[in-house]
A and B are shown apart, each in its own frame.
Chain A
C-alpha cells in the first residue's frame, strides 16, 4: 500500500467520523464546526484523487463560504436551548432507507467495478496541470452549462435578498 492510499483511507475515516459528529451534535454551532473539519478531510481526499483545483474550491467555497454563512444565520436566529428530543419519528424510516441504499449500492459496486481506461495524471501533464485541464474542458465543451450556472447563481442571489428582506419593508 502506497503512502497516497494510506492517507486516502485515513482522511476517509476521519471524514466519516466528522460527518457522524455533524448529524449527532445537540447544538447547531458544534455541528457547523465539525462540518468545516469534514469538508477539509474531503478536500484532502480530492488531492489524492488528482483534483487539486476542486480541493482548493472545496476549502474556499464550502469551508469558508457556505459554513460561514450558516454560522452567521445561526447567530441571527435564536434556537430553542436544551431541547430534550432532538429527532422526530421519521428516524426509523430514515434508518431503513439508509440501510437499503447501502446494501444496494455496495452490492452493485463490489460485484462489477469499471476498470481504469486512462491515466489522469499523464493526461493533465500534457495540458499543463489540473487547473488548466479543468479550464479547457469547462470553457470549450461545457461553456453553455457554465453560463446557465452563472444565471442560476444570479437568481439565487436575488431570491435570497428578496426572501430575507420581505418583512423589513413594512
Chain B
C-alpha cells in the first residue's frame, strides 16, 4: 500500500499549485480551473485517508465534493458569461467594481 503521508504530500502539492494559480492568474478561466484543481486535491486526500483507514466514508465525502464542484463550475461559468455580456472582458483585474 501507499504510505498515507505520501498521498497527503501529493494532494498538498496539487492544492498549492491550484492556490497559486487561483491567486495570481489574470484570466478568469484559469482561475476557475485552478479552483477545480484545489477541489480535486481535497478528493485525493479523502480517498487516501479512506484507503488507509479502511472505511468508505472518505469516498462518500469525495462524491459530495464532486457534486459541489460540478455546481460551482456551472454557476461560475454562468457568471463569466453574464459578466462578459456586461463588461466585455474576462480579465479579473478589470472586474474591480467592489474593490476599495
Contact = CB atoms under 8 A, between A and B. Distances in A.
A112 B30 CA distance: 35
A74 B84 CA distance: 11
Q: Which of B8, B33, B90, B92 has the most CB of A within 10 A?
A: B33
Given A35-B36, A62-B66, A119-B54, A87 B26 contact: yes
B37 A22 contact: yes
**Interface size classification for chain B:** 35 or more
Contact of A5 (B2, B9, B85): B2
A62 B36 CA distance: 9
A152 B71 contact: yes
Interface in B18-64: 18-21, 23-27, 29-30, 32-34, 36-37, 40, 43-44, 47-57, 59-60, 62-64
Contacts of B49: 114
A32 B89 CA distance: 19
- Interface secondary structure of A, over-half rule: helix
**Interface size classification for chain A:** 35 or more
- Interface secondary structure of B, over-half rule: helix
B23 A90 contact: yes
Q: Which of A62, A133, A136 has the most CB of B within 10 A?
A: A62
A50 B84 CA distance: 42
Contacts of B84: 76-77
Interface in A98-149: 98, 101-102, 105-106, 109-110, 113-114, 116-120, 123-124, 130, 133-134, 136-138, 142, 145, 149
A163 B79 contact: yes
A88 B22 CA distance: 11
Contact of B54 (A25, A39, A117): A117
Interface of B: 1-10, 12-21, 23-27, 29-30, 32-34, 36-37, 40, 43-44, 47-57, 59-60, 62-64, 66-75, 77-82, 84-86, 89-93
14 contacts: A22-B21, A23-B33, A28-B29, A31-B29, A35-B37, A48-B2, A49-B2, A50-B51, A91-B20, A114-B52, A134-B63, A137-B56, A157-B74, A160-B75
